[in-house]
Structures are given as structure tokens and as C-alpha cells.
Amino acid sequence: MIKFIFVCIILCLTAIANMAFAENTEPQELLIILRDNGTITQEQYDKLKQTTEHKAQEEQSSRVDVKVISKGGVEVQTYDGNFSFKLGGRVFVDAAYYDEDKNALGDGTELRKARIDTKGIIFGDWDYQFEIDFADGDADISDAYIRYNAFFPTRITVGQFKEPFSLEELTSSKFITFMERALPNEFAPDRNIGIGIHTHGEVWTAAAGVFGEEFDDDADDEGDEGWGVTGRLTYSPVHLDTRALHLGAAASYRIPDDEKKVKFDARPESHVTDIKYVDTDKIKNMDSLIKYGLEASGVLGPFSLQGEYIYTNIGRDNGSEDVDFDGWYVYGSWFLTGESRHYKFKKGAFGRVTPMSKLGALELATRYSTIDLNDGPITGGEGKNITFGFNYYFNPYIRLMLNYIIVDNDEDADADGDVMGNDDPRIVQARLQVDF
């Protein structure tokens, strides 16, 4: 199946190359042959050549130009702004060493992300994105949506995309400061199929949507899918290149599918291991899921701070007790080489860092995060991670990341009984990532 994709890519690139570089040389070659064979005279040849060139020039000037750009991937844009097509992707290669405490975590390597991504504009007002991740051996759709932009800055999106919740979640994995998102990110709703609206003013953004479930997430053939509504507001009185302040709040309400179950679990902030210390197992009799998130971030030159708090309430019926979980994190980052984290105000998230020097950029960061999955009858465990990060940006598209993580789990953080609780390993992990 993957071969099929590569054949498509080759076909696609060949077509783009032909579009970009093809020239109308055939008629001239034919004229040369006719002249050399003595079929036409030199005089006739000159006249025909002039006519052919004039026609070619006329044809050329009546076309809208096409621009081909490559920064690793390939992008084609028409000069009337009505069409574009981009083929890109990302590859993250990870390795982790676990200084184990009580449980074996499994040192090793992992292809954390291996995504191919297409996006484009169709007739100016429409754009789309379609992205597939091959990292775990299957082909999983991540983003797959169509967006209508005619009422810009208001945009309407239909398809599978991230629900508007959490600064860290909405910041692409290409641009997050640490190798993995913080522990409470487990509560963020992630991508689902739905319809959303997003708009912004000069200092605020608003986004909301109604969502079903993921494209392959039909829990029961006969049962109804779960659905939810999610909204997010952000406020940013300052969003300059080197100074920014971001405040945000989000809420999500979800009705479960017919199974009425929900499960929260999280690895330590390392993905090579499969051990998810904190794990609630399936919580039954859920009749609603409510989440609230608060977020704040500030950038001041090379320094930045970011933090979030997420609260989750599971409403239950059939006499089962409601349960509440929460988690939060805070981190600071410092670019030793003077760059600033790139705050994208309209999106309410962070974007690509461009090193000031051709020698690259260096960033130091540290984070504290915690998630608490213990409440009432549920003893999913509590985990705390302290992470020290070092990032080296070779250029805007290639980054080396090193993380050292101190893990502190409580006695209930036992992967739902599969491992021993109170396990406090240390983790060293590295990533080389490229996106194009």
C-alpha cells in the first residue's frame, strides 16, 4: 500500500516538473528536420520559425504564471492566487534510554512520526489538508478537512481536525518545545470529525465546533457515535515578533457513544515505552464528559513561559459516582542564541522558529507537569514529571532534541495493575526531526 503512495508521489512530482519546465520545443525541432532534409528553404524556415516563436510568446503571455517552490517538499502556486498545491511531510526519529527503578520500560528507538501531507487552495476561497501518518505501521489519517475562507477572518472547516482546546495541543508537534506534550494533554480532545468555525479580531480569537468521533473510531456497528461541542477563546493584547502575551480558556462537552465508557491513560513524557503508568481503565456508566482548560503564555525576547490547567468531570448514571480529574504544567524556555518563540496570534498557537544565524539556534527549557487520575472509586494514579530540554535548530526545518525526565509516580500509578506503583525512573531521550 505504501508503494502505491510512492507511485502517486512520483507521478505527482513528474507532472509538477513538466508543468514547471516544459517548453514548446517540438515545432522548432520539426522545422530544423524539414530544413535539413531540403523540404523547406532557409527563407521558409526563418519565416516559419518567427511565426512559431511569436505564437509561443502570445500563448505564454496569456497564461497565468505558476510558481514552484521547494523547501524540502514541493509547492506550486498560481499567480492569480486561486490555486496552490503543497506536498510535504515530517519524520521524527526517537531513541530513549530508561534508568529504571522498579519496572522494565524498554530502551529503544522509534519512528515517532512519519507523515505525508498535502494541502492546497482551490478557487481562492477553499482550501484543504490531507495528512497521513505511517509511524505505527498503519496508515492513519491525521488532518483531513476542507475549509471555506470567503468570509475571512471567519473560516468554516469541515472534516477531521483538532478540536479547539489547549495551547499545547493546537501547537503542531513540529513546533512544541519538548519531545512530548505534557501529561495533562491526555485530557485534550485531539482530532475528531466535525464542523468548526474560527475567527479573530485584533487581540482575540474565537473557535467552536461540533464533533463526532475519529474516522476509524466506530465503537459498535449498530450503536450511535458519541458527539461533543468544544469552544475556545484567546486574548492576546501583545503579539509582536519578539514579545507576546497569550491568555486562553476552552470548554468541551461530550456525550458518549452507546458503550458509555471512557478511559484516560498516559505514558511518562516519553513515547518509546508502552508503559502508561497512570491509567483509569474503562470508566463505565458515563453520561457526559466536561472539560475546562485555562492557558497562558508569554514571550519576552529569547525567554518564554507557558502553562495550562485542564479539569475534567465525568458525569455518570446508574448510581455511579461522578469523578473529577485534573492536571497542569508550566514551563520556561530560553534561546541562548537570541531567537524568540514564534507566536501565531491568529491561530492562538506557536509556530516555526527560524534561527538568526546560519549556524543554527540553541534552546534550553524546563517543565514541570502533573496529572491526577485519582478520585473516589477511581485510582488511576498520579504522575509528576520534571523535564529538562535542549534543542538545537540546524535550520528552520531540522531540529535535534534532547530531554532528561525525572519521573515521580504515586503508588496507584501502576498501569492499571500491570506494573508496580511508586516507580520513579529517569529518562534520557533524543529526537532528530525534519519537516518539509
**What is the binding site for other proteins (CB under 8 A)?**
1-2, 4-5, 8-9, 11-12, 15-16, 18-19, 59, 61-67, 76-85, 87, 116, 118, 120-122, 124, 130, 132, 138-141, 144, 152-153, 202, 215-216, 218, 221, 241-242, 301, 338, 340, 356-358
Q: How crowded is the C-beta side of 77, counted as CA atoms within 13 Å?
A: 9
Closer residue to other proteins (CB): 219 or 249: 219
- Residues 336, 301: contact at Cβ < 8 Å? no
Q: What is the distance between the alpha carbons of residues 67 and 121, in angstroms, rounded to a whole number? A: 14
Between 81 and 417, CB nearer to other proteins = 81
CB of 384 to other proteins, least distance (A): 32
Q: Which is nearer to other proteins, 72 or 376 (CB)?
A: 72
310 neighbors 330 (Cβ within 8 angstroms): no
We find the least distance from the C-beta atom of residue 5 to other proteins, in angstroms, to be 6
Would you report the helix, strand and coil content of the chain in percent, each value rounded to 5? 15, 50, 35
Strands 265-266 and 278-279: antiparallel
Structural contact between residues 220 and 207, judged by C-beta atoms closer than 8 angstroms: no
| Grid cell locating 244 | 507576546
Are 190 and 176 in contact, with CB atoms under 8 Å apart? no
**Distance of alpha carbon 38 from alpha carbon 31, whole angstroms:** 11
User: 126-133 and 265-266: which strand pairing?
Assistant: unpaired
Q: Which is nearer to other proteins, 84 or 366 (CB)?
A: 84
The smaller minimum CB distance to other proteins, of residues 215 and 253, is found at 215
Q: What would the DSSP string read from start to end of 47-77? A: HHHHHHHHHHHHHHHTSPPEEEE-SSSEEEE
Closer of 12 and 195 to other proteins (Cβ): 12
Closest approach, Cβ 15 to other proteins, in A, equals: 4
Q: Which three cell numbers stand for residue 354?
A: 527560524
Shortest separation between residue 383's beta carbon and other proteins, angstroms = 27
Minimum CB–partner distance for residue 155 and other proteins (Å) = 11
Secondary structure (3-state) at 227: strand
- Whether 121 and 129 have beta carbons less than 8 Å apart is answered as no
CB nearer other proteins, residue 263 or residue 426: 263
User: Which CB, 26 or 202, lies closer to other proteins?
Assistant: 202
Q: Which residue has the cell 534561527?
A: 355
Shortest reach from residue 122's CB to other proteins, in Å: 7
Write the single-letter amino acid at 267: R
Nearer to other proteins, 36 or 224 (CB): 224
Closer of 36 and 79 to other proteins (Cβ) = 79
Specify the residue for cell string 524540502: 72
Q: How far is the CB of 52 from other proteins (least distance, A)?
A: 18
Least distance (Å) between residue 346 CB and other proteins: 11
Per the structure block, which three cell numbers stand in for 134? 505511517
User: 426 to each of 9, 105, 176, how far by Cα in Å?
Assistant: 42, 11, 21
Nearer to other proteins, 225 or 414 (CB): 225
Report in angstroms how near the CB of residue 68 gets to other proteins at its nearest: 10
Establish how many alpha carbons lie within 13 A of residue 111's alpha carbon, considering only the half-sphere containing its beta carbon.
10
Q: CB of 84: closest distance to other proteins in angstroms?
A: 5
Distances (CA, A) of 47 to 28, 34, 210, 424: 12, 13, 67, 85
Question: What is the nearest approach in angstroms of other proteins to the Cβ of residue 167?
Answer: 22
* Residues 105 and 425: beta-carbon distance below 8 Å: yes
C-alpha dihedral (419, 424, 426, 427), degrees to nearest 10:
40
Any idea what DSSP says for residue 174?
T
Q: Smallest distance from the beta carbon of 418 to other proteins, in angstroms? A: 20
DSSP code at position 340: -
Residue number, 241 or 274, with CB nearest to other proteins = 241
